[in-house]
Structure 1
């Protein structure tokens, strides 16, 4: 099979993995003519509309796999064309694509062949060759194999900017049902080993560089019966236990010859989007899972973002005086991001913030007005209106500074 055909098969096979971000790495560049590539400037500046990074060469080493995970198009029993790169072919492709300015780095995963250790060894050889044989300074993200030896995981971190291990499904029951050959305890053990090594490298100044971009994971959404509360609870636990940089959410895609254990159609893509928004609230806005998902059905609303949904459920907390509210209170106002809140806190040290200042702060005026009090604006009884939800979800022109 020629290289272009392999690339077509193995790039297509990799598209289901969402966890390919490259933020957080240490600075390395080829200024002065030394080395190839850079982790500065263009890394991760380009994203697809759903948030996936599109600046990496994203491929599998092989889509052959000894495992038979029911949700995976590359499972052992799947009737798909198979291909496998050699280590040298992946290295050549990465360098060729980089020199043509098509990519800023490499995201490499693989099906499991022969054994976890053999597969992991091949993946590590790619990164090692790029770094040592070709002095490649660009970004490298390696998908690690949970059952691989600690020595191989340790070596992977020496050459990769980020490592990831997919948790696959949010619950142990779901994994046992759809991927019985995978062990959630083995996955978590590997995450724990990586966290220890990453922490050690960060604490000791003379320690060897080890995966400076941290580790991430991915969960498939909608392949099993897990609701959004269960998904976010697992994410919260992963963040606190292993200090993950990101949890990625990938909506389940129906596959050919699918098992009857799988749903017949994909979940709404909006569900994936709402999970990302909720994840952001947990990581940066001080929200707890049980605050974000309060409904009995355990799911996020699809027709509005989770912060607005929370605010409408807790109207008793509003309106807030924008000139007196704390940072934590302002972060919970729908339409306020962290940057806007910091600008407000800085500006109000000098003078009182007025409603007309919102335009200069670049916040969605219509979204925030019902929840705030200014010297020149009071929402009156707007929060009590039965149609407030429809007005806020509707186009912003329905609300103005005159309310």
Structure 2
């Protein structure tokens, strides 16, 4: 294959590896740029990433994966110098600002990792590239490869794929969860050892495949919270399972994207609000209700916390109110020092989503006007009745600011 054909093949193969807040909108659409994605960095900036595999030739046989060993399709690879040169040309043409490099495992994990690291080292040393690089740590990689990756990459990641060995076995019979967790533990140690680590800039992340193995949201989120608490991960990403032709799971139904969205909303509650898995509301199967966002579900199931008096509430109390996020809570606390907040318009000006907050607050001891359906939801006898009343159109899906 020539270089363009390799980019098309290995870019397509990298589609399901998440590198951040990547979406289909705002992507470069020409032939070379189809695999350039906008991604949000930890500092809030957005960069254009070339997301690509070093090789799609794989020794593993993950049941859901496009690159599995037993799937019949064209295989190709980049050499480190070839890929580094390609990226440098795209960077100089201002088409990309960063690199996300993953790979299938071919030969051995260390052999493939060494080629990935060599690509990054060529960019750093030969082309003097100082920008963002995200390297995937491959299952089975040695301590030495993991350590070298943390020295040249701004971010590293390991795909756990499932929250427990029981579920992982249904996706990737060749893998052991403890083997996947080991590099995450090593990176945590390396980040704490005081040595020179470029990876301190953006830390480490992981990814779960959602819905392919039958795992419940509750287990995904319990594991997510432990990863944040014990291994200090920067982010956890969720990828709704999409069946791919030519794989053993091709006839399995796709996971609704709304389920993925609810997991991201809950992840935000963990990271920005201090929620714990024990506070969440799940259905009988251990999944998040899809009909309303998890913060609203929590509020509906804890009516004794409400109404909250906005003019006296602590930051923690404000954060329990649907429609009030960390930024708007800070603005409310600052704004009420200048005068009492009296109307929903006052809240709206401070960044709150007033129509969502209205049923759960008082302003100066008085309840504001709000939609009757929301109040009915509060008094419903079961969460599901409440949620049915609160079903929101896609345009109102939120991440709480």
Q: What is the TM-score with the length of structure 1 in the denominator?
A: 0.85
Matches within 5 A, 1:208-247: 208-212=196-200, 213-247=202-236
**Distance in 1, Cα, partners of 2:108 & 2:21:** 27
Alignment of 1:8-27 (within 5 A): 8-20=8-20
Please list the CA deviations of residues 198-220 of structure 1 after superposition, one character each: whole Å capped at 9, or x if unmatched.
Answer: 1223xxxxx31330210000000
- 1:351 corresponds to which residue? 339
User: Structure 2 regions of 5+ residues with no counterpart?
Assistant: 23-36, 394-401
1:167 alignment partner, SS class: strand
The structure-2 alpha-carbon separation of the partners of 1:175 and 1:389, relative to structure 1 and needing over 3 Å to count, comes to: closer
How far, CA to CA, are the matches of 1:208 and 1:21 in structure 2?
A: 28
In the other structure, the counterpart of 1:29 is none
Matched, 1:107 2:95: no
Preserved CA contact (<8 Å) 1:249 1:276: yes
Cα distance, 1:57–1:211 mapped onto 2, change above 3 Å: same
Deviation digits for residues 13-68 of structure 1 (CA, Å, limit 9, x no counterpart): 0001113469xxxxxxxxxxxxxxxxxxx98459xxxx9x7720000000110000
1:157 pairs, out of 131, 134, 150, with 150
What is residue 33 of structure 1 aligned with on the other side?
none
* Gap change, CA 1:104 and 1:87, over 3 Å in 2: same
Instruction: For 1:95-244, list aligned pairs within 5 A.
Output: 95-201=88-194, 207-212=195-200, 213-244=202-233
Q: Which has the higher contact order (CA 8 A, sep 6+)?
A: 1
Measured after TM superposition, the shift of residue 145 of structure 1 is 1.6
Alignment correspondent of 1:28: none
Distance 1:271 1:253 in 2: 13
Q: 1:116 to 1:388 in 2, by over 3 A?
A: closer
- Residues 263 and 226 of structure 1: is their aligned pair in 2 closer, same or farther, counting only changes over 3 Å? farther
Over residues 235-285 of structure 1, what are the superposed CA-to-partner deviations in whole Å (9 max), with x where a residue is unaligned? 11111121000110001110113326x762101110001100001101111
**Are the structure 2 counterparts of residues 251 and 69 from structure 1 closer, same or farther at C-alpha, using a change threshold of 3 Å?**
same
Residue equivalent to 2:244: 255
Structure 1: state its 5+ residue gaps: 23-41, 202-206, 396-403
The Cα offsets for residues 276-331 of structure 1, whole Å up to 9 and x where unpaired, read as: 00011011112111222343221111121110111111122111111111111111
Query: How many aligned positions are there?
Result: 366
Superposition RMSD in Å: 2.5
Partners of 1:389 and 1:239 in 2: how far apart?
Answer: 29
Query: How far did 1:72 drift?
Result: 0.7
1:127-170 CA-to-partner distances (Å, cap 9, x unmatched) read 11100111101100000123212111111111100000110112
Query: Which residue matches 2:304?
Result: 316
Cα separation, 1, equivalents of 2:95 and 2:366: 51
Deviation at 1:95, TM superposition (A): 0.9
Cα distance in 2 for residues equivalent to 1:69 and 1:388 = 40
